[in-house]
Structure 1
């Protein structure tokens, strides 16, 4: 009886969810090692956290189902984003290290830094969008960009959270192992709040029906 209460308790449920989050984060790290698969891994990370952790349905291995089904679109998207990151990173390096301080263009390094930060947040919106909705390749880029700009307040909050996470991992390198799943859990409520504003009544009804079955 006591053992049954323990396994049905919120404490045990919390431990189970925490374990699932860490396991999904581990899947993300392993599947991201080839680098070019980071986009597909990010999409799968958000999908698995949404379905397994927040909706309480499915299994952590749903990560791999999303990874496979969204691999092509997410990988192509990631290659575009990584190209943008490299270009902006190069601009930052040049304006900071290869120009004289009195050069008017030297100050543009701050502009490129801010632009890079927005690109990172755009990629987060984009891969979360792919995980949650079915849309074409070009349309997904367009819609995720519009959503990011139209919700500037939430976008800035996401940016602040990402910067804080990067600083923490820089100071405490061991946190890298735990950070993917934790970050997905932190950002999920924000992204879902934003996404729900653009969901059709049919989509919202389906979401409520799924929740009522939990």
Structure 2
């Protein structure tokens, strides 16, 4: 019975991770409130989930804000680009619906396909930003390449994001835990992809480098 509540025991470890999921979701919500910061907060969410919750490295608050600050400018610019293109596609789809007829139907199909591609690329951008050091254009190109090359995985990732979004819209209280929980589920698929593009450890490398993501 004593082992059940031991700090290193399975029950306490599980409860600790549940608390971390709630705590990280609240952090994400607070830092996303300005809307324009969603890119930086989502990058930090993924970083915190993988490094602290999955790999048990570091402290959640410290690691979250480390990533948030380091990727604030790039994450914000990328998010605004995504938001701009998404808004333009939405407005164009509305106009195509009003247009009607064959031409309107064709345009709707084109805009929906473009919106799907935008979603596919978007689900890779912030995990890539949390892991790699690249220029914004290179991040977009790399994310597009990964999305297309790993299309079956990409579709599942998009479904996780879209379902989580609608669940939060329908049941707002789920925002207190669903962002981190869905990100945790998301990460099991995403990490399989990202590890294919990580440089492998070689003999003679700096042993002090904290390459937790290769474990």
Which residue matches 1:59? Answer: 59
- Change in Cα spacing, 1:33 to 1:144, as seen in structure 2 (3 Å) is same
Q: 1:169 to 1:189 in 2, by over 3 A?
A: same
The residue that corresponds to 1:19 in the other structure is: 19
Task: Provide, for residues 152-205 of structure 1, a one-character-per-residue CA deviation record: whole Å limited to 9, x for no partner.
Answer: 1101111222232233233323222322111110110111000111122238x9
Tell whether 2:40 aligns with 1:40: yes
TM-score by length of 1: 0.88
2:118 is the counterpart of 1:119: yes
Change (3 A) 1:200 1:211: closer
Misfit runs of 4+, over 4 Å: 205-209
- C-alpha contact 1:118 1:159 (8 A) present in aligned 2: no
Conserved 8 A contact 2:5-2:11: no
Q: Distance in 2 between matches of 1:114 and 1:189?
A: 26
The alpha-carbon distance between structure 1 residues 75 and 210, as it changes in their structure 2 partners (threshold 3 A), is closer
CA shift at 1:46, angstroms? 0.6
Q: Distance in 2 between matches of 1:134 and 1:110?
A: 35
Q: Which residue of 1 aligns with 2:70?
A: 69
Could you list the runs of 5+ residues in structure 2 that have no partner in the other structure? none
Match of 2:162 in 1: 163
Normalized against structure 2, the TM-score is what?
0.87
Give the aligned CA root-mean-square deviation in angstroms. 2.5
Question: Which residue of the partner structure matches residue 87 of structure 1?
Answer: 88
Stretches of structure 1 that go unaligned for 5 or more consecutive residues are none
CA offset at residue 208 of structure 1? 9.9
How many residues get paired? 210
Matches within 5 A, 1:54-203: 54-61=54-61, 62-96=63-97, 98-100=98-100, 102-202=101-201
The secondary structure found in structure 2 opposite 1:197 is helix
SS of residue matched to 2:60:
coil
Q: 2:81 & 2:178 partners in 1: Cα distance?
A: 24
